[in-house]
Structure 1
Amino acid sequence: MTNANAADAPVEHEADWGRLEDGTPVGRWVLRDGTLEVGLVEHGARIQSVLAPDRDGNRADVVLGFPDAAPYAGKGRSFGATIGRFANRIAGGTFELDGQRSSVPTTDRGNAIHGGPHPFSEKLWTAHPVDGVCGVRFSLFSPDGDNGFPGGLSVHVTYALHEGTLTITYSATTDAPTVLNLTNHAYVDLAGEGSGTIDAHLVQVHADRFLPVDETALPTGEFRPVADTPFDLREAVPVGYRVELDDEQLHRGKGFDHCYVLADVPGGARPPALAAVVTEPVSGRVLEVRTDQPGIQFFTGGSLAGTLVGKAGSAYGPRTGLALETQAFPDAPNHPEFPTTVLLPGEEFRSVTELRFLVA
């Protein structure tokens, strides 16, 4: 159901929540399940807000973002957005598939990042409520040659809310061989967005290897054990303590900006499993991330420059939010040793990520 007037409706739609520079209206959807309230925006098929309770039942918005559409169409385009066609980086913006070389415009130190200069996060998606559940389905068609990627791609992202868990289901089909890597780029501060840094957050990642990067943040191809490194997050540790350690990889990422290896299988998929847990000790809020993807990019927001002001009126500087992006491995089309990201005609890409909000 949709109802723009009933504040307690499980699915609410505001058709003209904001406008792009050309005057195009942008809609916002709200999902409610009695525990969480989740705001979703059609521009970028993004998570705009998550109101979650602390251990005393007090709710706060724990997702970094903006109160209107304008910042999302500018420097804030990645905040909470669906990232594609290819999340993370592609070396030199080029890859070969079936003997054909494709070129994606480069936007980051000579590499393509997050799908190129006009990615999915800048598109206006169509949206419809999902029958029988508290959910919304966003849809987009990416034509052959979009940002240099081959194949016409039909892609859908469904958000469904139930008992404190936000489930994100990605699906896609193509009419020609292509590569695909989809994720969500929400920044989280479990103390409440705009409350300061995430240094006191405790982070645990269920992985015993990570992908080290070169000077341009591309994976080197090495699968490095986390043991005896600052990247060992198998037990929960405070973010701020690890970020400040003198380590070449931390310097290259301005903190954590690395993909952890959750599974190493040829097809790139695995049964959904617990990948990461984040705890904010003062509020007691906990976020559990489950996924079927082979990797999770842990990013502590070292590149946030304080030039964007969020919903609470605070500037978003370094480490004011962290992201846990479930995905395939960066630059996978150029690394045959990585799980494949190739999607062929007649196949359906399908992936599930669960964000479960709890209190401790």
Structure 2
Amino acid sequence: MKIQIKKYGYLQGKNLCEFTLTNDQGMQVKLLNYGATAEDVLVPLKNGEERHVILALNKPEDYDKERNFLGGTVGRIAGRVYRGQWQNGPHILQLPQNDGENHIHGGFGTDQRVWDFRPEKGTDYVSVHFSLLDYDGHNGFPGNLQLETTYTLTNDNELSCQMTAYSDQLTIFNPTNHTYFCLDGLGSQVDQTLLKLDADYYLPVKGDGVPTGEMKSVEGTVFDFRENRPVGQAILSDDEQIQARNGLDHPFVLNGSKPAAVLTASDGLVKLALTTDAPALVLYTANHFGKGRSEVNTLPHFGGITLEAQAAPLPGSDLGAITVMPGKTWERHIAWKYEF
């Protein structure tokens, strides 16, 4: 097991660093302390080739040019908050309305901050512990929130992401890791990627992406991935929900089995099994990629799919399901097991 550290810049009063983790099977993971980001995953195939299996920009210096969500630890809130409001008893907290009238992805989010770090090397694993203090009042959120995101690569070709948080005030918190998976390789589309998802229900959304408040069965719909089916079943369909968001952009309520989701490359050479203790996965299929001149839009339309482990976004201002009590430790575990 190896871990290498390379300084590549300076931002927000801290060094910007890239970490390269390599296991004994030749699997390589690159991480950035900018946004506690999973930058790249490279796997060696049995045919002797190597394949990049998550969406990545050309170089680490590109990540802070504009917000892109590629592999970042997105928070404090992942997803949308209706009108940016949290009603806590008689009090209404107003968050930045940075997505029309709604709030999205924490404002100036944790994926845009430079985190402190501590590498760790064991006999059969390598880790990087990233930590960040999100101070009281930043983006309108109450409480000094201490965050830690730890990525660990093992010799079993598993990459895990352990998140912990602690606040000194009652606050709301619902982060996620925002990696886009592209098991057929960079430059491909995910319509032929096979997906198996342990979810009997999904949440319909309005045109602005906020859930309607309904929970619908996947039975008989394009959202039914309880058996291996190509992602194109949904994103190439004329389903009204798909058309409204130009692809998948929907929460799925997990049944609780392991793994929660399995992705398989169309050529069968790479498989990914995701396990998590999160109650939901939000699937998004890079619906807006391939448009415009920004760095992220050099990546193809439908060029990746997220499996965002989080609590399902809520339709209104009652956000009790994502509150964190002061003095209580919040935890989230995600693991991605690769076969190649």
Change (3 A) 1:164 1:284: same
TM-score by length of 2: 0.92
Residue in 2 aligned with 1:209?
201
The 5-angstrom pairing of residues 95-244 of structure 1 reads 95-116=86-107, 118-130=108-120, 132=122, 133-162=125-154, 163-194=156-187, 196-244=188-236
Where in structure 1 do 4 or more consecutive aligned residues deviate above 4 Å?
none
Change (3 A) 1:60 1:76: farther
SS in structure 2 at match of 1:249: helix
* Residue-by-residue CA offset, 1:30-70 (whole Å, 9 max, x unaligned): 11112321000010000000011334353211111223344
Residue in 2 aligned with 1:349?
330
Q: Is 1:331 matched with 2:314?
A: yes
Q: Is 1:30 matched with 2:20?
A: yes
SS in structure 2 at match of 1:11: strand
Give, in angstroms, the shift of residue 252 of structure 1. Answer: 1.7
Any stretches of 5+ residues in structure 2 without a counterpart?
Answer: none
Any stretches of 5+ residues in structure 1 without a counterpart?
Answer: 1-8, 264-269
Q: Which moved more, 1:27-36 or 1:85-94?
A: 27-36
Residue in 1 aligned with 2:276?
291
Q: Which moved more, 1:277-286 or 1:134-143?
A: 277-286
Kindly, what percent of the aligned residue pairs are identical? 31
Q: Distance in 1 between matches of 2:161 and 2:70?
A: 16
From 5, 15, 40, the counterpart of 1:49: 40
Do 2:34 and 2:113's aligned partners in 1 also have CA atoms closer than 8 Å? yes
Instruction: Please identify which structure carries the higher strand content.
Output: 2
Give, in angstroms, the shift of residue 25 of structure 1. Answer: 3.7
Q: Is 1:67 matched with 2:26?
A: no
Do 2:81 and 2:103's aligned partners in 1 also have CA atoms closer than 8 Å? yes
SS in structure 2 at match of 1:340: helix
Q: Is 1:304 matched with 2:295?
A: no
Q: Distance in 1 between matches of 2:109 and 2:67?
A: 13
Tell me the amino acid that sits aligned with residue 358 of structure 1: E
Do 2:213 and 2:315's aligned partners in 1 also have CA atoms closer than 8 Å? no
SS in structure 1 at match of 2:321: coil
TM-score by length of 1: 0.87
Give, in angstroms, the shift of residue 90 of structure 1. Answer: 0.4
Tell me the amino acid that sits aligned with residue 243 of structure 1: I
Do 1:273 and 1:292's aligned partners in 2 also have CA atoms closer than 8 Å? no
* Residue-by-residue CA offset, 1:66-124 (whole Å, 9 max, x unaligned): 233443223343111000001111001111225432111112132111111x1101100
Q: Distance in 2 between matches of 1:175 and 1:78?
A: 27
Q: Distance in 2 between matches of 1:332 and 1:134?
A: 40
Residue in 1 aligned with 2:258?
273
Q: Distance in 1 between matches of 2:314 and 2:14?
A: 34
Q: How many residues align?
A: 335
Do 1:332 and 1:341's aligned partners in 2 also have CA atoms closer than 8 Å? no
Residue in 2 aligned with 1:10?
2
Q: Is 1:247 matched with 2:229?
A: no
SS in structure 2 at match of 1:170: strand
Tell me the amino acid that sits aligned with residue 149 of structure 1: F
Q: CA RMSD in A?
A: 2.1
